[in-house]
Amino acid sequence: MFEHLKEQPADKILALMQAFKDDPREDKIDLGVGVYKDADGKTPIMRAIKKAEKQLWEEETTKAYTGLAGDPLFGERMAALVLGDAVPAGKVAKVATPGGTGAVRQAFDLIRMANPEARVFVSDPTWPNHLSILKHMDIPFTTYRYFDGVTGGVDFDGMMEDLAQVRKGDVVLLHGCCHNPTGANLNISEWQAVADLLNKQGAVPMIDIAYQGFGDGLDDDAAATRLIAAHCPETLIAASCSKNFGIYRERTGCLMAVAHEEGRHKLNQDTLAYLNRQNYSFPPDHGARLVLMVLGDDALRTDWQAELEDVRLGMLKLREQLAGELRDLSGSDRFGFLAQHRGMFSRLGVGPDKVEALREKHGIYMVGDSRMNIAGLNAETIPKLARAIIDVGC
């Protein structure tokens, strides 16, 4: 049997990580990895998570299964965090998943089960794993224009022109905030236009929100998701706790299915639990337990929000510093979009040759499409990066 297996394509980001490790230069800079790093290059455990973990260690009395959907309280608190009061709680089915990736996969499974003919529209570019999973599941998909490489912003006219081609029952995958890999985002009036178009065409929105709190704040980052979920008859939402709670390896996520039509909730909830059973039975609980503890305790939540805000403001400061350095060196504002982007990532909008030159000449590692992790920088490395960008002719 095994002789029929084929070689799988190497993960480009993991290969980039290995190349960085093998580079002997002491002043090398890693902007490829997709995790948050502090000024010391570490991915810390957040204070509130550490406190909750200590409390859990002292108080937990069992490791028995929770339920197919995970602890219902985790789902309730995640729905409140993401949706606020935009949608009545009784309209939202939710299950815990192994990370945001698990939520995305389960959402695709639900789409395939509910409408095998549905096409999934994804932004160009998008997180590579979206495409990888869709291909693996043999779900038809197509792309819509999103990033304008000239302005560094969203090609909104192109996006709307492409989305006008969606058919009834198709699914449009949207990034709720902090678009990965570009960092470019829609404004709220543009989000309203997208919602109106989806409703006109009869398409279903699916929102991947992996960076809530990393852009403009917890509520502002959720504003688009809340608008879509409130205005569209049905919405799928895949939420991740990896970044904003800093619990990457705990694999903690949540899939929500919003339906405004009466009588849909129970069927949706039962179906999500059924899909969990088919794929992994019971979702991981440790990370979910920490999240529900933090969200349910006033002191822990206040501490978490304060630390998350420090992280957000720190990345914004790095963006502004980098844009300023490039303005001084280039004598122009052509890199000003970097300060307007939000989240961990920005896309420079240059070709693979420039990315290769940055790596070979300056030891600066970023993904081949010119995505760079802003959180991989600090105040000392920004001047080096800015000089290198100008040197290679970006």
Supply the residues annotated as catalytic.
127, 208, 210, 243
CB-CB contact of 270 with 67 (8 Å): no
Instruction: Give the residue among 174, 163, 250 at the shortest CA–CA distance from 210.
Output: 174
If one counts every other C-beta atom within 10 angstroms of the C-beta of residue 281, the result is 9
Residue with tokens 């309203």: 192
Instruction: Give the residue among 21, 29, 36 at the shortest CA–CA distance from 363.
Output: 29
CB-CB contact of 169 with 115 (8 Å): yes
Alpha helices in the chain (DSSP H): 12-22, 47-59, 72-83, 99-114, 128-137, 156-163, 188-201, 218-231, 265-279, 286-296, 298-330, 337-340, 352-362, 382-391
CA distance 206 to 279: 20
CA distance 157 to 151: 13
In the sheet that 253-259 helps form, which strands lie side by side, from edge to edge?
92-97, 253-259, 234-240, 204-209, 171-175, 120-124, 141-145
83: helix, coil or strand? helix
- Take residue 222 and report the two structure tokens written for it: 């959720």
Amino acid at the residue 269: Q
If one counts every other C-beta atom within 10 angstroms of the C-beta of residue 192, the result is 15
Tell me, letter by letter, the H, E, C secondary structure of 293-316: HHHHCHHHHHHHHHHHHHHHHHHH
- Take residue 188 and report the two structure tokens written for it: 């709220």
Contacts of 58 (CB under 8 A, 6+ apart): none
